[in-house]
């Protein structure tokens, strides 16, 4: 039987192709659901289950047992597979999938045999008949692959030599159904058949690898859902035709008889029904892979937190040692979170949520959007205070991320007995870094010594970067002020421009940090009057900020992050040149006046209140 004849037959009798498609969709359902319910699938054949490290790329392959999209590096799901899984539950689910897979491989290869023998048969009948043998054979090959994987970690590329030793037995699954024999006999016969048809098998394998390489190469620029659907349909047809061709060669059917079989009767209603299912299953699988349905599997009550966002503005930014932020107070910035009780301080918490965020686009504009996600956080402690955050090895999964910007990684922290939630999106990844991949979760913030206030430890100066988010059951001016004070206490003294640093601290109302910086200026031989203000600051900020609302206070604090808010002016007084930064407050103005020498080093820094 020629390859083109096999392909033509499957187009007219596609029911066999439904088997690998159904198996992949089932795997997608299990992998995606496991991300929420805490289990994974252990299967030595699905190397790229879940979220692969490498991006989708041109790949050539030849299926042995049954075609699966993982052969071409297409993941079973588009969200992050859980790394912190329940081992017992995972083993149970894996065992169940192993049984199902063995059954469908039996039915699949048995149905392909019936094409050659011209027998009318049912897929489920073939599955039952060969199940025991394929179940044991599946276990045997899984053990071999596991051993090769372990040896590969020890001897590296030399494991290829061991892999080549398994090639004489690659026809074993086909021999089991064609000869209707046991595993031991099939292993021996496979070795003989590989020797007999070696050059045919080699040429045919290279041909199929070339075809699949061209297929994957042509899909590089498509969305991941389209790649999933196209690969699932096209690869299932191509690979099934290839397996049927090889089995036909081994069965030694004459060409005329094979052609006669291809001209068998076609039942149009059944054919249309098969094609309806054939196209519906990949569409279902692509939607399952996104994980949006997981929101309906979380039946716990959700809490709503109002929020703020803030980020380093595209202005006069010093560096990571002294971050300043521009704040956004919008009623759409909020989060709904299924948060379990933290009273008993569980070791980990998980659930779903919906967050309103400011999403950037490639055009540089920003828009508000609601994003669903699933999360898993682990318990941490500092000074006997408990808080929760996701680990660096496991990222939060966004379920309905639809943007021209690739999906980012997410970091979440819950503290203050569940009253505060901090949320951060990493910088967008570029397509070449991973179409299906996700950026490695990094540490973008920590907590202070109280465990109640988080500390951003990364100053992101990309003007289109994502902001930080702070959600709370009660957001007040006092809480934001405490956050800024804590942030500044962990910031370094900036030698290059203490004038900007002092002006920013005044904008934020962080006078305790100004008092702490005064000795540093003295050590650098910079003349200043900060000590004179040490007793005035508390009363000054009470007068200026005390009666402001949170939104009004944030308007002033945001000016610490922008060039326009702290623009310096050159002035001359008594023949001396000075730089001034004028800071406007509700009822007064302050000037931060400083001078620099010819080497650019600061000599003087004074705070002057306009009368």
- Extract the tokens encoding 350: 């998980």
In a domain, 487, yes or no: no
pTM above 0.75, yes or no: yes
Task: Give the pLDDT band of residue 382 (cuts 50, 70, 90).
Answer: confident
601 within domain boundaries: yes
Confidence of residue 400 (pLDDT cuts 50, 70, 90): confident
- For residue 118, pLDDT over 70 is answered with yes
Arithmetic mean of pLDDT, 456-478: 72
Mean pLDDT of 423-429: 67
Which of 295, 314, 338 lies at the terminal end of a domain, its last residue?
Answer: 295
**Alpha-carbon span 277 to 291, nearest angstrom:** 21
In sequence order, the β-bridge partners of residue 308 are: 470
Are residue 101 and residue 125 in the same domain, yes or no? yes
The predicted pLDDT at position 578 comes to 83
DSSP for 246-264?
A: HHHHHHT--HHHHHHHHT-
Percent over 70 (pLDDT), the chain? 80
DSSP 419-470: TEEEEEEPPPPPGGG-SS--PPP---EEE-TTSSSEEE------TTSPPEEE
In a domain, 481, yes or no: no
Which pair of tokens denotes residue 542? 């009470």
User: Does 403 have pLDDT greater than 70?
Assistant: no
281 within 8 A of 25, measured Cβ to Cβ: yes
434 domain residue, yes or no = yes
Q: Residue with structure tokens 């900007």?
A: 500
Question: Do 330 and 465 sit in the same domain of this protein?
Answer: yes
Q: Largest alpha-carbon pair distance within the chain?
A: 109
State the residue range of the domain holding 321: 298-475
Other CB atoms within 10 Å distance of the CB of residue 220: 13
Q: Quick one: pLDDT at residue 19?
A: 94
The answer, yes or no, to whether residue 392 has pLDDT greater than 70, is no
121 with 245, same domain: the answer is yes
- Confidence band (pLDDT; 50, 70, 90) for 54? very low
pLDDT of residue 254 exceeding 70, the answer is no
76 in the same domain as 147: yes
342 and 235 in a common domain: no
Residue 404 has pLDDT above 90, yes or no: no
pLDDT at 548 over 90: yes
pLDDT band at 561 (very low <50, low <70, confident <90, very high): confident
Window from 223-237, 445-459, 473-487, 594-608 with minimum mean pLDDT: 445-459
User: Among the three residues 414, 449, 475, which one is the final residue of a domain in this structure?
Assistant: 475
Which tokens go with 387?
């808080």
What mean pLDDT do residues 9-27 have?
93
Beta bridge partners, 369, equal 357
Contact 308, 328 (CB under 8 A): yes
Read off the pLDDT of each residue in 307-332 and give the average, rounded to a whole number. Answer: 72
Lookup: tokens for 150: 């372990």
- On the question of pLDDT at 442 being above 60, the answer is no
Question: Is the residue at 426 inside a domain?
Answer: yes
* Angle in degrees, CA 242, 275, 110, rounded to 5: 45
Question: Contact, 65 vs 115, CB < 8 A?
Answer: no
Cβ contact 456:445 at 8 Å: yes
242 and 99 share one domain: yes
Structure confidence at residue 258 (pLDDT) = 43
Query: Given the DSSP bridges, would you call strands 410-415 and 445-447 parallel, antiparallel or unpaired?
Result: unpaired
**Closest C-alpha among 426, 329, 333, 414 to residue 371:** 333
CA quadruple 90, 92, 93, 95: dihedral positive or negative?
positive
Cβ atoms of residues 474 and 499 within 8 Å: no
CB atoms within 10 A of CB 366: 15
Q: Say yes or no to pLDDT of 290 above 70.
A: yes
Q: 314 and 269, same structural domain?
A: no
Residue 328 to residue 362: CA distance in whole angstroms: 21
Number of structural domains (the chain) is 3
Q: Which residues in 17-48 are b (16+ Cβ under 10 Å) and which e?
A: bbbbbbbbbbbbbbbbbbbbbbbbbbbebbeb
Kindly state whether residues 92 and 170 are assigned to the same domain: yes
Say if 120 falls within a structural domain.
Answer: yes
Residue 320 makes CB contacts below 8 A (sequence gap 6+) with 457, 458, 459
Are 409 and 500 in a shared domain? no
Measured CA to CA, the distance from residue 241 to residue 10 in angstroms comes to 7
Residues 338 and 240 grouped into a single domain: no
Distances (CA, A) of 528 to 502, 532, 566, 568: 11, 9, 19, 18
Burial of 364 (0-12, 13-18, 19+ CB in 10 A): exposed
Could you say which of 251, 276, 295 is where a domain stops?
295
Dist. CA 414–CA 375, nearest whole Å: 11
The enclosing H or E element of 611 equals none
Mean pLDDT to the nearest integer, 261-273 = 72
pLDDT reported for residue 323: 76
Asked if 415 and 387 count as a contact pair (C-beta separation under 8 A), the reply is yes
Pull the structure tokens for residue 528.
């200043």
Computed over every residue of the chain, the mean pLDDT equals 81
Same domain as 278, residue 352: no
Q: What is the CA radius of gyration of the chain?
A: 32
pLDDT exceeds 90 at position 544: yes
- Return d(Cα 389, Cα 392) in angstroms, integer: 9
Residue at 480 is within a domain: no
Nearest CA to 328 among 106, 562, 512, 579? 562
pLDDT given at position 28: 93
Q: Do both 119 and 209 map to the same domain?
A: yes
């Amino acid at each position: 039987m020629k390859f083109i004849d096999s392909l033509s037959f499957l187009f007219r009798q596609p029911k066999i192709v439904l088997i690998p498609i159904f198996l992949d969709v089932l795997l997608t359902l299990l992998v995606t659901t496991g991300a929420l319910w805490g289990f994974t699938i252990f299967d030595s054949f699905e190397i790229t289950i879940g979220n692969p490290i490498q991006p989708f790329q041109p790949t050539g392959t030849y299926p042995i047992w049954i075609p699966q999209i993982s052969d071409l590096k297409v993941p079973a799901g588009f969200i992050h597979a859980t790394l912190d899984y329940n081992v017992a539950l995972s083993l149970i689910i894996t065992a169940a999938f192993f049984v199902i897979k063995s059954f469908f491989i039996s039915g699949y290869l048995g149905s392909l045999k019936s094409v050659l023998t011209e027998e009318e048969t049912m897929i489920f009948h073939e599955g039952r008949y060969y199940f025991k043998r394929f179940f044991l054979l599946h276990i045997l090959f899984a053990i071999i692959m596991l051993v090769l994987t372990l040896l590969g970690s020890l001897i590296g590329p030399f494991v290829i030599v061991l892999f080549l030793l398994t090639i004489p037995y690659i026809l074993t699954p086909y021999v089991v159904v064609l000869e209707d024999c046991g595993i031991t006999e099939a292993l021996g016969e496979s070795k003989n058949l590989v020797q007999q048809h070696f050059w045919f098998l080699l040429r045919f394998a290279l041909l199929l690898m070339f075809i699949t390489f061209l297929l994957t190469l042509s899909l590089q620029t498509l969305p991941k859902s389209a790649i999933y659907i196209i690969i699932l349909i096209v690869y299932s047809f191509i690979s099934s035709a290839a397996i049927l061709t090889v089995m036909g060669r081994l069965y030694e059917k004459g060409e005329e008889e094979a052609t006669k079989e291809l001209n068998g009767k076609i039942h149009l209603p059944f054919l249309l029904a098969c094609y309806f299912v054939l196209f519906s299953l990949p569409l279902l699988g692509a939607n399952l892979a996104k994980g949006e349905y997981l929101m309906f599997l979380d039946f716990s009550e959700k809490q709503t937190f109002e929020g703020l966002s803030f980020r380093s503005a595209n202005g006069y930014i010093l560096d990571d040692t002294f971050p300043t932020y521009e704040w956004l107070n919008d009623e759409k910035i909020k989060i709904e979170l299924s948060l379990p009780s933290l009273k008993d301080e569980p070791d980990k918490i998980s659930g779903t949520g919906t967050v309103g965020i400011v999403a950037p686009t490639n055009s540089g504009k920003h828009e508000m959007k609601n994003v669903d996600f699933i999360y898993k956080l682990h318990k941490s402690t500092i000074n006997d205070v408990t808080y929760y955050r996701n680990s660096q090895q496991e990222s939060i999964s966004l379920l309905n991320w639809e943007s021209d910007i690739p999906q980012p990684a997410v970091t979440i922290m819950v503290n203050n007995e569940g009253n505060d939630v901090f949320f951060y999106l990493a910088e967008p990844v570029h397509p070449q870094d991973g179409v299906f991949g996700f950026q490695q979760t990094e540490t973008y913030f920590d907590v202070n010594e109280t465990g109640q206030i988080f500390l951003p430890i990364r100053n992101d100066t990309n003007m289109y970067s994502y902001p930080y988010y702070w959600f709370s059951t009660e957001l007040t001016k006092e809480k934001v002020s405490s956050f800024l004070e804590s942030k500044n206490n962990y910031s370094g003294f900036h030698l290059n421009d203490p004038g900007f640093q002092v002006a920013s601290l005044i904008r934020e109302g962080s006078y305790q940090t100004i008092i702490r910086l005064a000795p540093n200026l003295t050590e650098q031989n910079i003349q200043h009057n900060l000590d004179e203000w040490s007793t005035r600051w508390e009363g000054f900020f009470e007068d200026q900020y005390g009666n402001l609302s949170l939104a009004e206070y944030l308007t002033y604090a945001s000016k610490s992050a922008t060039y326009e808010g702290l623009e310096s002016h050159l002035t001359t007084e008594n023949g001396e040149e000075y730089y001034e930064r004028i800071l406007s407050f509700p009822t007064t103005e302050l000037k931060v006046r400083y001078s620099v020498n010819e080497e650019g080093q600061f000599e003087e820094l004074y705070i002057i209140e306009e009368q």
